Amino acid sequence: MMPTDEKRPLVDSRRQFLKRSGLVTAAAAVTGTLSLDRSAHAAGSDVIKVGLIGCGGRGTGAGLNALNAGEDVRLVAMADLLEDRVKLKRKMLADRKGEQVAVDDAHCFVGFDAYKEVLAADIDVAIIAVTSHFHPVMLQAAIEAGKHVFCEKPHSLDPVGLKTVATTCEKAKQKGLSVVSGFMNRYNLAVRETVKRIHDGAIGDVVAIQETYATPPYHVHQRNPNWSEMEWQLLNWYHFNWLAGDQVLQQLIHSIDKAAYVLDDKPPKQAWGVGGRAACFGPSYGDLFDHQSIIYEYDNNVRVFGICSNQIGVHQQMSDEVLGTKGHASLLQGRIRGETNWDYDGPRPNPYDQEHVELFESIRSGKPINNGQYMVGSTMLAILGQMVCHTGKRLTWNEVVNSEYSVAQERYGWDAEPPVKPNADGSYDIAIPGVTRFV
């Protein structure tokens, strides 16, 4: 967070923020009516045309997930910052999905504004999976262009951008457009059924949830000496806060999204946490912490404990344990133990595929779905988590909702100056809890 001495007024309550954003309803999927031309298209007389914005690993994976959603799905346009990557990933997808990949050279777009060319093309659906910094702007542009959208998480890196996302999701409802989030655990059938049973009282009242995401460092690269500082940061973007957030926003966010799902997406009152860098040093790790622990404090003394680490040679674990007055549940395992003993034995489709299956079915049926509520709520949980770890302060939900912290830059381009600069030894300054101030 950038230093400041200014104290900002707390205007909105948690409920007022959600209501103002138009996201106060409890339903994650909102149905509506599409226009006649879209309904006719959805009837199956034509293909559903897709544009892929972002051809990195997650973008290419999302493109494949979309093509897996039906033989009527066609990929017709692609965009990325790098031309070589567009051509390479087009071939990779074509090798897997054959004629479903119908992207000619004229629809391979490159550069910082390439997403605009994809949205101007003849597509029905935009898949957005780029450097996270750009998600709010591209999501807004896609809805303004009248496209259904799949957008990866996190949906913003700051509260200012997240309010744009909230407004955009409301506009999607008004236009009858589907918006599906990359929080794929909401589409994990075992998780869904387990959460349903928790809501039905299978473990009694929820007392605490432990969310753990401990893995090795994510995509560590070595710098090419011919790269400019901006090229280096964009190509190593997972390790810079202004481009990716940190591992709370990139990884633990999936876990705390599951906790939010269990708690009916009600926001906490406040949170505090600890974090720092203990094991991963050098320019390749940018300005990120390598471990964080967060305590989210809810009404009725409910606690959510979020634990995240990205270190080499240490214990690794991905789990979520929900503790109740009558038992406990393991969400990913689909397991409940206590007064009720139950194991999920239903189908387990790939949730990355399932979210696209449901997106495209919503388009065919003319019944759009809108994940806007938890797109905003779970992303705000992660932003809150990052802020309390960076500052070392206990912060309320309201304080963070009303924060004016923004990572937006005045100009983007390979020749632009990044907001973070290296020290003489090539390393980057990191936040210092107790010194870094909340803005």
The strand ranges marked E within 218-302 are 270-276, 291-297
Distance CA 418, CA 439 (A): 20
Query: What is the distance of C-alpha 211 from the center of its chain?
Result: 17
pTM of the model: 0.90
Burial class (CB in 10 A: 0-12, 13-18, 19+), 323: middle
Cis before 154 (ω within 30) = yes
For 247-284, write each residue's pLDDT tens digit.
Answer: 999 999 999 999 999 999 999 999 999 999 999 999 99
Specify the length of the chain in residues.
439
pLDDT higher than 90, residue 17: no
CA neighbours closer than 13 Å in the CB half-sphere of residue 239: 26
Edge-to-edge strand list for the sheet holding 179-181: 108-110, 73-80, 48-53, 125-128, 148-151, 179-181
Edge-to-edge strand list for the sheet holding 395-396: 342-343, 335-338, 327-330, 317-324, 206-215, 303-310, 291-297, 270-276, 395-396
The strand ranges marked E within 17-58 are 48-53
For 334-379, write each residue's pLDDT tens digit.
Answer: 999 999 999 999 999 999 999 999 999 999 999 999 999 999 999 9
Mean pLDDT across the chain: 90
Query: Two tokens at 288?
Result: 């990120």
pLDDT higher than 60, residue 24: no
For 85-142, write each residue's pLDDT tens digit.
Answer: 999 999 999 999 999 999 999 999 999 999 999 999 999 999 999 999 999 999 999 9
Beta-sheet pairing, 48-53 with 125-128: parallel
